[in-house]
Amino acid sequence: MSSGSAVGLVLLLVFLVIAFAMFIFWILALVDLLKYNEREYQAAGSSKVVWVLVVVLVGGIGAMIYWFTMRTKLRAVRNSGQHQAQFQPYQH
């Protein structure tokens, strides 16, 4: 095996590892996205449908945008209970 083909093989292997890691991250982001309900998204100022489309259509980049922007907002909404207080029925 020549040194050129060895370098090519290493680069291919690195690319495959990165692609596999991005695919796993994409799946994790999609699962995380789906565990929140629409009320939590509304309390965070967004829409669940929009984020599903972003993550599915844009792929790994969309998953990273969701993970580092919207996920933190959704976790804050869930921890504060804001999504429940905002939609409680009227008590007589």
The predicted pLDDT at position 81 comes to: 80
Tell me whether residue 92 is exposed, middle or buried, using C-beta atoms within 10 angstroms of its C-beta: 0 to 12, 13 to 18, 19 or more.
exposed
pLDDT tens column, 4-35: 799 999 999 999 999 999 999 999 999 999 99
Nearest to 55 by CA among 17, 27, 74: 27
pLDDT tens column, 39-76: 999 999 999 999 999 999 999 999 999 999 999 999 99
- Compute the 3-state secondary structure of the chain and give helix, strand, coil in percent, each to the nearest 5: 80, 0, 20
Structural domain includes residue 43: yes
Structural domain includes residue 92: no
Structural domain includes residue 49: yes
Structural domain includes residue 84: no
- What confidence category does residue 85 fall into, taking pLDDT thresholds of 50, 70 and 90? low
Structural domain of 44? 23-79
Structural domain includes residue 9: no
For the chain, the domain total comes to 1
Does the pTM surpass 0.85? The reply is no
Structural domain includes residue 28: yes
